[in-house]
Amino acid sequence: MLLQPVQVTTYSGLDKTMITIIDYGMGNLGSIQNMLKRMNFEAEITSDLDRIVDAEKLILPGVGAFDHAMTSLDERGMIPLLNDLVVRKKVPILGICLGMQLLSKRSEEGELEGFGWIDAETIRFKIPPDAGLRIPHMGWNTLIIKKDSPLFEDMYDEPRFYFVHSYHVCCASEQDVLAVTTHGIEFTSAVMHDNIFGLQFHPEKSHKFGMKVLNNYAELV
Protein backbone atom coordinates (compact mmCIF):
# COMPACT_ATOMS: atom_id res chain seq x y z
CA MET A 1 0.00 0.00 0.00
CA LEU A 2 1.47 3.34 -1.01
CA LEU A 3 0.16 5.55 1.75
CA GLN A 4 0.12 4.81 5.45
CA PRO A 5 -3.20 5.35 7.27
CA VAL A 6 -3.70 9.05 7.84
CA GLN A 7 -4.17 10.11 11.44
CA VAL A 8 -6.24 13.30 11.60
CA THR A 9 -5.69 15.73 14.44
CA THR A 10 -7.34 19.15 14.87
CA TYR A 11 -5.11 22.21 15.30
CA SER A 12 -6.00 25.84 15.83
CA GLY A 13 -4.26 27.57 12.95
CA LEU A 14 -2.79 31.04 13.28
CA ASP A 15 -1.78 33.52 10.56
CA LYS A 16 -0.79 32.05 7.22
CA THR A 17 2.85 31.98 6.15
CA MET A 18 3.70 31.40 2.51
CA ILE A 19 6.46 28.82 3.09
CA THR A 20 6.94 26.88 6.30
CA ILE A 21 10.31 25.23 6.93
CA ILE A 22 9.72 22.35 9.33
CA ASP A 23 12.06 22.39 12.33
CA TYR A 24 12.32 18.93 13.84
CA GLY A 25 15.88 19.28 15.06
CA MET A 26 17.64 18.12 11.86
CA GLY A 27 18.56 20.19 8.83
CA ASN A 28 20.24 23.26 7.40
CA LEU A 29 17.26 25.48 8.12
CA GLY A 30 18.79 28.95 8.27
CA SER A 31 20.46 28.69 4.87
CA ILE A 32 17.20 27.70 3.19
CA GLN A 33 15.31 30.53 4.86
CA ASN A 34 18.00 33.07 3.97
CA MET A 35 18.00 32.07 0.30
CA LEU A 36 14.21 32.38 0.13
CA LYS A 37 14.32 35.77 1.82
CA ARG A 38 16.95 36.95 -0.68
CA MET A 39 14.32 36.26 -3.34
CA ASN A 40 11.69 38.15 -1.31
CA PHE A 41 9.66 35.11 -0.29
CA GLU A 42 8.20 34.92 3.18
CA ALA A 43 9.60 31.86 4.95
CA GLU A 44 9.24 30.78 8.56
CA ILE A 45 11.19 28.15 10.49
CA THR A 46 8.96 26.54 13.07
CA SER A 47 8.22 23.42 15.10
CA ASP A 48 4.88 24.87 16.27
CA LEU A 49 2.03 22.66 15.02
CA ASP A 50 -0.36 25.62 15.11
CA ARG A 51 1.91 27.45 12.66
CA ILE A 52 2.56 24.43 10.44
CA VAL A 53 -1.16 23.67 10.03
CA ASP A 54 -1.73 26.89 8.06
CA ALA A 55 1.29 26.61 5.77
CA GLU A 56 0.67 27.27 2.10
CA LYS A 57 3.81 25.30 1.20
CA LEU A 58 6.08 23.08 3.28
CA ILE A 59 9.80 22.36 3.18
CA LEU A 60 11.14 19.29 4.97
CA PRO A 61 14.94 19.54 5.22
CA GLY A 62 17.12 16.89 6.76
CA VAL A 63 20.72 16.00 7.59
CA GLY A 64 21.59 12.84 9.50
CA ALA A 65 20.12 9.37 10.04
CA PHE A 66 16.72 8.16 8.80
CA ASP A 67 15.48 6.61 12.07
CA HIS A 68 16.60 9.58 14.14
CA ALA A 69 14.68 11.89 11.81
CA MET A 70 11.45 9.87 11.96
CA THR A 71 11.77 9.61 15.75
CA SER A 72 12.25 13.37 16.05
CA LEU A 73 9.17 14.01 13.90
CA ASP A 74 7.14 11.54 15.96
CA GLU A 75 8.22 13.00 19.30
CA ARG A 76 7.09 16.44 18.16
CA GLY A 77 3.68 15.17 17.07
CA MET A 78 4.32 16.14 13.46
CA ILE A 79 3.61 12.86 11.65
CA PRO A 80 -0.22 12.86 11.86
CA LEU A 81 -0.36 16.57 11.03
CA LEU A 82 1.92 16.22 7.99
CA ASN A 83 -0.06 13.18 6.78
CA ASP A 84 -3.23 15.24 6.97
CA LEU A 85 -1.76 18.28 5.21
CA VAL A 86 0.04 16.43 2.44
CA VAL A 87 -2.31 13.50 1.75
CA ARG A 88 -5.75 14.95 2.47
CA LYS A 89 -5.33 18.69 1.91
CA LYS A 90 -2.71 18.34 -0.86
CA VAL A 91 -0.43 21.04 0.54
CA PRO A 92 2.80 21.08 -1.53
CA ILE A 93 5.85 19.72 0.27
CA LEU A 94 9.50 19.76 -0.77
CA GLY A 95 11.84 17.25 0.87
CA ILE A 96 15.54 18.12 0.74
CA CYS A 97 18.38 15.56 1.09
CA LEU A 98 17.35 13.33 4.02
CA GLY A 99 13.97 15.06 3.78
CA MET A 100 13.53 13.51 0.32
CA GLN A 101 14.44 10.07 1.67
CA LEU A 102 11.80 10.41 4.41
CA LEU A 103 9.17 10.62 1.66
CA SER A 104 9.87 6.95 0.85
CA LYS A 105 8.49 3.87 2.61
CA ARG A 106 11.67 2.82 4.39
CA SER A 107 15.47 3.01 4.34
CA GLU A 108 18.27 0.44 4.50
CA GLU A 109 19.84 2.83 6.98
CA GLY A 110 17.26 2.09 9.68
CA GLU A 111 14.24 0.10 10.77
CA LEU A 112 11.47 2.69 11.09
CA GLU A 113 8.89 3.38 8.38
CA GLY A 114 9.07 6.58 6.37
CA PHE A 115 6.06 8.63 5.32
CA GLY A 116 5.46 6.42 2.29
CA TRP A 117 4.08 9.25 0.18
CA ILE A 118 6.34 8.10 -2.65
CA ASP A 119 6.29 4.40 -3.56
CA ALA A 120 10.02 4.02 -3.05
CA GLU A 121 12.76 2.68 -0.81
CA THR A 122 15.97 4.37 0.25
CA ILE A 123 19.06 2.24 -0.33
CA ARG A 124 22.81 2.60 0.19
CA PHE A 125 25.07 3.28 -2.79
CA LYS A 126 26.37 0.01 -4.21
CA ILE A 127 29.34 1.07 -6.30
CA PRO A 128 31.95 -1.41 -7.57
CA PRO A 129 35.21 -1.16 -5.57
CA ASP A 130 37.24 -0.62 -8.75
CA ALA A 131 35.19 2.48 -9.69
CA GLY A 132 37.49 4.68 -7.61
CA LEU A 133 34.56 6.66 -6.21
CA ARG A 134 33.97 7.58 -2.59
CA ILE A 135 30.89 7.27 -0.45
CA PRO A 136 29.37 9.59 0.61
CA HIS A 137 28.76 11.15 -2.76
CA MET A 138 29.96 14.65 -1.98
CA GLY A 139 30.36 17.68 -4.18
CA TRP A 140 28.97 19.13 -7.39
CA ASN A 141 27.20 16.99 -9.97
CA THR A 142 24.81 17.39 -12.89
CA LEU A 143 21.23 16.26 -13.45
CA ILE A 144 19.39 14.68 -16.32
CA ILE A 145 15.81 15.93 -16.09
CA LYS A 146 13.45 13.10 -17.06
CA LYS A 147 10.14 14.95 -17.37
CA ASP A 148 8.64 18.40 -17.32
CA SER A 149 8.22 19.92 -13.90
CA PRO A 150 7.62 23.41 -12.51
CA LEU A 151 10.68 22.90 -10.28
CA PHE A 152 13.05 23.04 -13.23
CA GLU A 153 11.17 25.53 -15.37
CA ASP A 154 13.47 28.06 -17.13
CA MET A 155 16.51 26.39 -15.58
CA TYR A 156 19.97 27.67 -16.53
CA ASP A 157 22.01 25.69 -19.05
CA GLU A 158 24.17 22.87 -17.70
CA PRO A 159 22.63 22.90 -14.21
CA ARG A 160 24.73 21.47 -11.42
CA PHE A 161 23.98 20.99 -7.77
CA TYR A 162 25.73 20.20 -4.51
CA PHE A 163 25.29 16.70 -3.02
CA VAL A 164 26.22 15.09 0.31
CA HIS A 165 24.70 11.63 0.83
CA SER A 166 25.43 7.92 1.21
CA TYR A 167 21.90 6.69 0.43
CA HIS A 168 19.58 7.32 -2.49
CA VAL A 169 15.89 6.82 -3.28
CA CYS A 170 14.83 3.98 -5.58
CA CYS A 171 11.31 4.53 -6.96
CA ALA A 172 8.93 1.71 -7.84
CA SER A 173 7.46 3.79 -10.68
CA GLU A 174 9.41 5.72 -13.28
CA GLN A 175 6.54 8.23 -13.25
CA ASP A 176 7.79 9.51 -9.88
CA VAL A 177 11.36 10.06 -11.11
CA LEU A 178 11.91 13.71 -11.93
CA ALA A 179 15.68 13.71 -12.44
CA VAL A 180 18.65 11.35 -12.29
CA THR A 181 22.35 11.80 -11.58
CA THR A 182 25.35 9.50 -12.03
CA HIS A 183 27.86 8.62 -9.32
CA GLY A 184 29.18 5.22 -10.31
CA ILE A 185 25.56 4.26 -10.92
CA GLU A 186 22.58 6.26 -12.12
CA PHE A 187 20.36 7.22 -9.18
CA THR A 188 17.23 9.27 -8.64
CA SER A 189 18.16 12.81 -7.64
CA ALA A 190 14.68 14.40 -7.71
CA VAL A 191 11.14 13.05 -7.38
CA MET A 192 7.66 14.40 -8.02
CA HIS A 193 4.27 12.86 -7.28
CA ASP A 194 1.26 15.18 -7.37
CA ASN A 195 1.93 17.79 -4.63
CA ILE A 196 5.02 15.96 -3.33
CA PHE A 197 8.53 16.96 -4.44
CA GLY A 198 11.96 15.77 -3.35
CA LEU A 199 15.54 16.86 -4.03
CA GLN A 200 18.51 14.72 -3.05
CA PHE A 201 20.86 17.68 -3.52
CA HIS A 202 21.06 20.84 -1.41
CA PRO A 203 19.55 23.77 -3.34
CA GLU A 204 20.61 26.17 -0.57
CA LYS A 205 24.26 25.29 -1.35
CA SER A 206 23.89 25.24 -5.13
CA HIS A 207 24.19 28.95 -5.96
CA LYS A 208 22.06 30.23 -8.85
CA PHE A 209 20.89 26.74 -9.81
CA GLY A 210 19.53 26.00 -6.37
CA MET A 211 18.09 29.48 -6.10
CA LYS A 212 16.17 28.88 -9.33
CA VAL A 213 14.69 25.62 -7.99
CA LEU A 214 13.61 27.24 -4.72
CA ASN A 215 12.18 30.20 -6.61
CA ASN A 216 10.15 27.86 -8.80
CA TYR A 217 8.86 25.98 -5.77
CA ALA A 218 7.92 29.18 -3.99
CA GLU A 219 5.96 30.34 -7.05
CA LEU A 220 3.95 27.13 -7.41
CA VAL A 221 0.25 27.84 -7.71
Catalytic residue flag (residue 202): yes
Catalytic residue flag (residue 111): no
Cis peptide preceding 129, ω within 30 of 0 = no
CA distance 176 to 48: 30
Query: Residue 122: which of 145, 147, 140, 98 has the closest Cα?
Result: 98
Query: Residue 116: which of 77, 57, 47, 66 has the closest Cα?
Result: 66
Question: What is the SS3 assignment for 192?
Answer: strand
Active-site residue, selected from the candidate residues 56, 202, 207, 219: 202
Catalytic residue flag (residue 171): no
Active-site residue, selected from the candidate residues 44, 56, 97, 158: 97
202 DSSP assignment: B
CA distance 83 to 150: 23
Question: What is the SS3 assignment for 50?
Answer: helix
Identify the bridge partners of residue 70 per DSSP, sorted by sequence position: none
**Catalytically annotated residues:** 97, 202, 204
